[in-house]
Structure 1
């Protein structure tokens, strides 16, 4: 037997603090460590130590699990007590002194276990009491309770379920659906391009005769593309134009010109295919001076503006880039815009703004006013609805606090859903299309009332474009810096921007919608 006299084994005689699980298990670890030292010379004690070490690991696992939930503590600690009793059975052959010390520790652990169990029951009772108090303080008749549940149901359940596939919603699951939706859009555009190619290869439609001084002239600017040639963006746009030109009755909605600014006409096969159907303007006086791609784009644009206007002297001019696909009601909305008072005093009207930039939470100040107005109108409709139909017994009233609460609710719902989808409701009628101050980004579709196109060309001649200061930003800054000039945007968009592959910027192998 080992000599126990040279080891001091502390006696656990301190009072037990109710609820101290850590002290209980610290005593267990201390006991097992001392027993290991005392039994090094005794083979039987060594065997008991190995068994106790295994049991200690089990106890540690149960202790960790017990800390996770107060309610489960009672059952776990009972298992701990049973495991400790097993230790005694394995140590029956240990010397009397070792066995007595083990039983002393077991008795104290059992006492602490009962204290912890009593504390667990007390904690569970306190938890139920707190829940009962919360329920008394927040009954369903409380407006605060109703508002919390309404917000939770709307923003944590309803909108995530309904909007997780909407590309321009905050709830869109980008990592899950973006690749698939982008690929579907590419395949749809490819099929549309192949269909347009077959159409123009066999078509005998003739738009070569362009009337002088038409009410509206549409000029399509095109250049050679190095990427995405199989999509035939230009052929798609011209095919769609041929369709929508006949939506204005017996007379053609507008005259159409094609402006090819390719450095080598042979490089733009789509434009050459359309020569037998449309009148084509080509730039043959390209300067040998080497400039950056953004400045060259601006110079090509001003060339098309001047030559299109000087060719037929239209009353109004629309310029489309070769990846701007006009929608079905394109000309009806343009005619309505030209009939409005603002058209006589504007430099240009943007007919497209990227959907991802159409949110309320945006630097454009007018959208904040629109957002607040939507919240007020939405709150009014909610209160009117509740006055006639209130199945959930909501207690909202026209008080200032309730109005503010519901206004915030409607505004948050509109922003998280996506302003783009609310704008789509305006397509019901051309009169519902909204006109607002011009935005900075993008010029795939522009309306120039009167002879404004000549003024724009003159302004652009005085600017030099670089990366970060392309022609769209130059035009935006011109309007802001020249007194008396105004520019506007129309929403929702009148065209669909189908150009996944850019003609002036590097392109990925498979472009994404976002």
Structure 2
């Protein structure tokens, strides 16, 4: 009789959770299994555009609150003070729709983060303008009052006079879009490296740092230095963003094991309530708890489960880096010269992210990816395919 009562209680919990509690929760969560059942892509796109406009408005207000001369002087003084711990370069090109304000948002968020950060004592940031029209990128020109700007196509490229790639940087013709993208990336990376910092953070102009970004990076750097293994200590880079649409549960061994682990945790949690009961009852609680947690996680999907790791910087995971994507990359200085030489030879063959991944495999190097993402991507409309819209659910997020 008690076993029947227990079974009825568990079934009731199951029904209430997955019919009354979870669906209303999931319809508000991008990437959940219910999200597109109650919203269509056009409505989500409009919401993403409204969120973008709101962030842009806040970013303009942020710069209005700054004293332009002292804001820029903050970085110039850091550069003069001696050895730099970190250089942040924001690579940018003019977009067809200049009202999106991607660059303004990225610079505002990173500027605030760097000025409040205590992990990297001496840091420098600059906007890396790679637009072929020297004065056509109005958004970058407006920000030059507040932040140092470097130009790829300006005659006086300063430190690049002695660069082995300077001829490549000045070429403007006979390159397709992706080839130019790689050369732009090289230019900004070398410009940052020429300041001789310990680390370079190279980010694209449609990428926003989340508030804990530098805290988490610093935590992971300290963790890596604890290991004597050369691949772990001498990593090639840390990827700080990976597309959320590819972070869900999938038919891959690692992620299948994650689902099983979630089931074990769930079974253990439910087993607490049956610790003084009969073995059969304990078994029932454990199996039900495992199934309950697994179904819950699968309906939320992995992207939302990962959000629980944001509770503390120590909970973020460090995984082997996948091949795709370069919106936010954190490089130690030792790897940059070799990477630049490789990209110079490879720029006619592959997209930038694939070329960087090939560099890893050819040189037998190790690189990492942090989960959950430390940066958010706001570029629903890309600078390469002007009329192409990405999956809008990727751009419905909170800045915490």
Query: For this structure pair, what is the TM-score category when the shorter chain's length is used for normalisation?
Result: 0.7 to 0.9
Q: 1:278 to 1:411 in 2, by over 3 A?
A: same
1:436 partner SS: strand
Aligned to 1:27: none
Contact 1:141 1:395 in 2 (8 A): no
Aligned to 1:356: 245
Aligned to 2:189: 305
**More divergent stretch after superposition (280-289 vs 352-361):** 280-289
Structure 1 or 2, whichever has the larger Rg, is: 1
1:173 partner SS: helix
- 1:258-273 superposed matches below 5 A: 258-273=127-142
1:267 partner SS: coil
Shift of 1:199: 4.4
- 1:103-144 Cα distance to aligned partner (Å, 9 max, x none): xxxxxxxxxxxxxxxxxxxxxxxxxxxxxxxxx9xx93586x
Contact 1:265 1:272 in 2 (8 A): no
Quote the Cα distance in structure 2 between the aligned partners of 1:291 and 1:464: 10
- 1:421-436 superposed matches below 5 A: 421-436=304-319
1:208 partner SS: helix
Aligned to 1:471: 352
**More divergent stretch after superposition (283-292 vs 426-435):** 283-292
Shift of 1:283: 1.0
Aligned to 1:370: 258
2:124 to 255, 261, 285: 255
Aligned residues: 365
Quote the Cα distance in structure 2 between the aligned partners of 1:250 and 1:273: 29
2:333 to 450, 453, 456: 450
Contact 2:85 2:120 in 1 (8 A): no
Quote the Cα distance in structure 1 between the aligned partners of 2:142 and 2:121: 23
1:208 aligns with 2:76: yes
**More divergent stretch after superposition (292-301 vs 410-419):** 410-419
1:496 to 359, 363, 376: 376
Quote the Cα distance in structure 2 between the aligned partners of 1:385 and 1:141: 14
- 1:393-442 Cα distance to aligned partner (Å, 9 max, x none): 9974248xx75564344223212112222211211211111101112322
When the two structures are superposed, what TM-score results if normalisation uses the length of structure 1?
A: 0.64
Quote the Cα distance in structure 2 between the aligned partners of 1:435 and 1:250: 19
Aligned to 2:54: 191
2:95 to 219, 225, 241: 225
1:482 partner SS: helix
- 1:453-509 Cα distance to aligned partner (Å, 9 max, x none): 22322232232466xx52223323433x33531111001111111112200113258
Q: 1:293 to 1:159 in 2, by over 3 A?
A: same
Shift of 1:293: 0.9
Quote the Cα distance in structure 1 between the aligned partners of 2:388 and 2:303: 26
- 1:208-242 Cα distance to aligned partner (Å, 9 max, x none): 34244311111111111113x11211111111122
**More divergent stretch after superposition (200-209 vs 488-497):** 200-209
1:447 partner SS: strand
1:171 aligns with 2:54: no
**More divergent stretch after superposition (427-436 vs 340-349):** 340-349
Greater RCO (CA < 8 Å, at least 6 residues apart): 2
Contact 2:103 2:206 in 1 (8 A): yes
Q: 1:452 to 1:380 in 2, by over 3 A?
A: same
Quote the Cα distance in structure 2 between the aligned partners of 1:224 and 1:375: 48
When the two structures are superposed, what TM-score results if normalisation uses the length of structure 2?
A: 0.80
- 1:232-285 Cα distance to aligned partner (Å, 9 max, x none): 111111111221123235985632122111111211112112223222221124
RMSD: 3.1
1:335 aligns with 2:218: yes
